[in-house]
Amino acid sequence: MTPHEYLVVEVTEACPHACVHCYNYWRENRAPVLAPDTLSRKEIRKLVRNIRRTAPLKVVALSGGEPLLRPDIAGICSDLASDGLDVAVITSGALLTPARAARFPVGTTFEITLFGADAALHDRIVGRSGAFDRVLNGAVSAIERGCSLVASIVVTRLNAGHTRDALELGIALGADAFLLNRMNFSRLTLPRAGELGPNVEQLRDALAAAEAVAVQYEASISVSVPIPACVIDPAPYRHLHFGWCPRGGAQAYYTVSHNGLLRPCNHSSVVLGDLRKTPFEELVTGRAAAAFWAPIPPACSTCTHPLRDVCRGGCPAASDECYGTREQADPLVQLAHGQSAYAGV
């Protein structure tokens, strides 16, 4: 048995948007919604059932690409929900019309991304005019259907000053949980880090805005993509939940590619194996998985921050994608101040 309760399934690589911060390693491709090797609805159900034989899955997040591009996405949700799983659909929300929403099981969670309350800014970030209005309509459609709404606020340099607006828009739309995700880097976005990545001051301002919203509205806000403790100490933000990489532990969310290949997480392009051929348990307890999670950046070994044992250099997948090694700390550390403020004390 393995302890894993969460799983991400990327049901397609296709996406109608071109978000400036998109980290997906296939973002340059024009992937079809259903490629020849894409898992069918039936295969997804079978694959998840197989995983549940050795893992106590509770939540399956359907992601992409844009999962709502798949015509059978509501059916996939129904299959998983009727198997007793909580299902979350990670989507832009732009394709969720009332008619489509009505096909999803009541209680499905839709996680939509907001960047502020400015339509022009939203459309600029996602690279598609009219997207903002469609996202609002999608969020309302989810609420009308009796589904849960989670607002994911992605903080980039372009919208860091709009964090409060984004959270309040999520509240107005009926969201009952919030993720505050700072932009995470990949080899495709790192060259544009100076233009797109939030600096430390912007991140602090965004966190302060989120802290104020959490207090004022008693909102549950998770700072999900790790912000290494040497970049910003989370201690002052007492009403925010800070997330750290679970590094393959019980709360890891291994990610299934559209074609059944298993990866350590959604941010990584590393393939651990093919779930069509090898059981989940064998892949997550195998050498490739252990090797992926093991490295701790040497610069972090002398860190004295109280969070060092959970931080461990931030997002190892981002380091791997950007530098080709997990021996370096999260790219955010280098971008923030060259090296860890706690290293070498």
Provide, rounded to whole angstroms, the least separation between the CB of residue 270 and other proteins.
16
Cα end-to-end span (Å), the chain: 41
Indicate the residue among 34 and 314 with the shorter CB distance to other proteins: 314
Judged by CB under 8 A, the stretch of 47-55, 213-221, 269-277, 286-294 that binds other proteins is 213-221
Q: Please give the structure tokens belonging to residue 105.
A: 């099981």
* Planar angle of CA 175, 181, 27, nearest 5 degrees: 105
Q: Does residue number 179 form part of the binding site for other proteins (CB under 8 A)? A: yes
170 three-state secondary structure: helix
Which H or E run includes 50?
A: helix 41-52
Q: Does residue number 169 form part of the binding site for other proteins (CB under 8 A)? A: yes
Provide, rounded to whole angstroms, the least separation between the CB of residue 318 and other proteins.
11
Indicate the residue among 58 and 337 with the shorter CB distance to other proteins: 58
* Residues in the chain, overall count: 345
Residue from 158, 210, 219, 332 binding other proteins (CB under 8 A): 219
CA distance 78 to 97: 18
- What are the angstrom distances between the C-alpha of 324 and each of 9, 263, 264, 299? 24, 16, 15, 17
Judged by CB under 8 A, the stretch of 55-63, 155-163, 200-208, 278-286 that binds other proteins is 55-63
Scan for tokens 């372009």, then name that residue.
Answer: 158
Residue from 11, 39, 61, 206 binding other proteins (CB under 8 A): 61
Nearest to 149 by CA among 132, 122, 161, 167: 167
CA distance 235 to 244: 14
Q: Does residue number 280 form part of the binding site for other proteins (CB under 8 A)? A: no
Indicate the residue among 75 and 243 with the shorter CB distance to other proteins: 243
Q: Segment 234-263, which members bind other proteins (CB under 8 A)? A: 234-238, 241-246, 249, 251, 253
DSSP codes, 18-39: --TT---TTTTS---SS-TTPP
Q: Segment 68-127, which members bind other proteins (CB under 8 A)? A: 86, 88, 90, 107, 109, 111, 117, 119
Residue from 72, 205, 233, 281 binding other proteins (CB under 8 A): 233
Provide, rounded to whole angstroms, the least separation between the CB of residue 51 and other proteins.
15
Q: Does residue number 6 form part of the binding site for other proteins (CB under 8 A)? A: yes
Provide, rounded to whole angstroms, the least separation between the CB of residue 85 and other proteins.
11
CA distance 147 to 77: 12
Residue from 65, 93, 197, 226 binding other proteins (CB under 8 A): 226
Nearest to 255 by CA among 278, 276, 272: 272
Q: How far from chain centre, in Å, is Cα 161?
A: 21
191 three-state secondary structure: helix
Q: Which residues bind other proteins (CB under 8 A)?
A: 6, 8, 58-59, 61, 86, 88, 90, 107, 109, 111, 117, 119, 136-137, 140, 143-146, 148, 150, 168-169, 171-177, 179, 181, 216-220, 222, 224-226, 233-238, 241-246, 249, 251, 253, 265-267, 304-307, 310, 315, 342, 345
